[in-house]
Every structure is written in structure tokens, then in C-alpha cells.
Amino acid sequence: MQVFRFPLAATVASLVVSAVSAQAQQQAVEYLPTTLSPTVTMVQGRGGNIAVSAGEDGVFIIDDQLEPLTDQLVASIRTISDRPIRFVINTHYHGDHVGGNEKIGKAGAVIIAHDNIRERMTTDQFNHFFNDTTPAWPKAALPVVTFNDQVTLHLNGEAVTAYHVPRGHTDGDSIVMFAGSNVLHMGDIFFNGRYPYIDLDGGGTLQGMIAAVAKGVELANDDTKVIAGHGPLSDRAGLQEYHDFLVTVRDRVQALIDRGMTLQQAIAAKPTAEWDSILGETWITGDQLVTFAYNSLTGVDHFTRPESTTTTTE
């Protein structure tokens, strides 16, 4: 099983609908299923990783990727089970995790999410990192069941619990535990084999990310199969390593802040240099991760770009 090891090669992840070009929308996407238990399958395609629970009670999925690819996604799920999709849990509000809500919801599925996800999906969301606004989603795409702390579904022979983890990747994140199958879906709290994106505009913080990963480690055991929001399947050891990495980044950036360094100076100090060529080549760079950390630790609620620092977005 692949875990969060620094030598792990990363694959490209699209994190927002705008990241998918018109050409890519027309291309067939290869969906790769990995059987994790008699009822739970991980499906990887373009966008966030999906968990599919299929059994006598029907189909229940965690996240539904990008809107233009919904028909292809549903077709891939049909190869696992031809039973109807009854429920969807969204782990957060980003378009590569809620994009299929509208079509799947119109087909009869009940969309479930944290309160803050519905709130953000009902209004335009400006993001400084992308310098772009995501418009409010249509009514049919919105979650119809929301929760504040946690919610449990009893389906396909097991309890499935979504736990809200505050202010991590966003302010509406949930991690989802399939108790009987011993499968944990971390959503974008866990980027496996790459630097994480922290949506500061969406209420995310590095401190919350660390606490959320710690919650996942607490829920897991040595046999738990851990689904990352992006990247390959992992386990508790990989999740623990990711947690320790984030703590190291936090402590290094906090030390620079304590020395009175500005954001520009902290970036120039290269506190992530030892990992940049391994974890910073896929999407988020070391400079951007330092910015997420610095702004989180100093209470800045959005991404900023020092004039003399070159950063890139996708």
C-alpha cells in the first residue's frame, strides 16, 4: 500500500472546475476502481478521490468530482453496482468534490454535507489564490441534509459516520469513517504525496488541518485503509507521517514569525527546501505552502503574494 512517503511520485490533481480545460471536458476519463472491502471501492479519475459503498441498500458515495464529467463518473459507478445512488456526502465545497451534485441529485440522490458547505455553495465565493470567483451553485446542486458536528448513516451493513473537522482545508470539511469496512475517507484534509492546498478564503487554516489529520489518526488503526482527497491510497502510518510533516512546517514558520520576519523574508528562508523537489513539483509550491502557513499563523484570512516573490497557480 502506498503511504505518505517523501519519495512518493505525485500525480496531477485538478482542484477546481476552472482547472479543467474545454478540451479535457470532451476527453474520456479513465476511472480506476480499487476494492477496499466487500462493499467499499475507491474510485480515482479527474478531481477528488471518491468512495463508493454498494450493497443491498443501494449506492452511497463520498464526493462526486467535476460537473462536466458527471455522466462518465456515474457510468463508472454502474460498473460497480447498477443499484441507484441514494446518498452523497460532500467532504467540502470545492467544485472537484461537489460538481456532480446537480445531476446526481436530480436523479434522486440525497446530498448531505456540513452546514458551512451549503452556506458557501449558496453564495459567490471569491478566492485570492486563484484570483477568481466561483458563482453560487444552482438549487439542485445544494445539500438538502446538513449537519453541525457529525452524522451517521446505516447502510449496506455498516455505520458510516461523517465528522466535521473545523477550519482545516476549508471551514466545512468532513472526514468519513466506514466502521465495518475500516475505511477512512479524509477528503482534502489529506493530500498524499504532494503539498496541500489550504483554502484560506474558504475558512481553512494550517492549525485546523493539523488537528483534522490528528482526528483521522485517532479514528484509524494499523489496518485502516485511508483515502486521500488527492493521491494514492494510504494507511494510518502514512497519515501519521503527513501529520508530523505539517507540524514541522508549522513550527519552522512560527519560528520565523517569532524572529520578526515578514512573509517575504519567511519565503526567502526556504523552510520547506528539503521537500520542494519531491512534494512541490505537482501543484502547490514550497513558497505557496509557506504563505498558507504564515498567513494562517498570523491570522490573515486569504492568500497574499509578496511583490518580489514569484508564485504560480493552476
Q: Domains for the chain: give ranges and CATH numbers.
A: 17-245 (3.60.15.10)
Considering only CA atoms, which of 269, 270, 280, 271 is closest in space to residue 249? 271
The C-alpha cell at 11 is 500525480
- Given this model, what pLDDT does residue 310 score? 41
- Sign for the pseudo-dihedral over CA of 81, 25, 129, 115: negative
Q: What is the CB neighbour count within 10 angstroms for residue 206?
A: 25
* Percent share of the chain, pLDDT over 90: 87
pLDDT-flagged residues of the chain (< 50): 1-24, 308-314
- Given this model, what pLDDT does residue 26 score? 53
Partnered with residue 50 across adjacent β-strands are 43
Which residue type occupies 212? A
- Given this model, what pLDDT does residue 282 score? 87
The CA distance from 239 to 34, in Å, is 19
Partnered with residue 206 across adjacent β-strands are none
- Sign for the pseudo-dihedral over CA of 12, 73, 127, 115: negative
- Given this model, what pLDDT does residue 289 score? 98
Q: Which residue has the cell 443501494?
A: 58
- Given this model, what pLDDT does residue 306 score? 77
pTM of the model: 0.90
Alpha helix ranges (H) inside the chain:
22-26, 70-78, 95-98, 101-106, 115-121, 206-219, 236-258, 263-268, 273-279, 286-298
The CA distance from 302 to 37, in Å, is 40
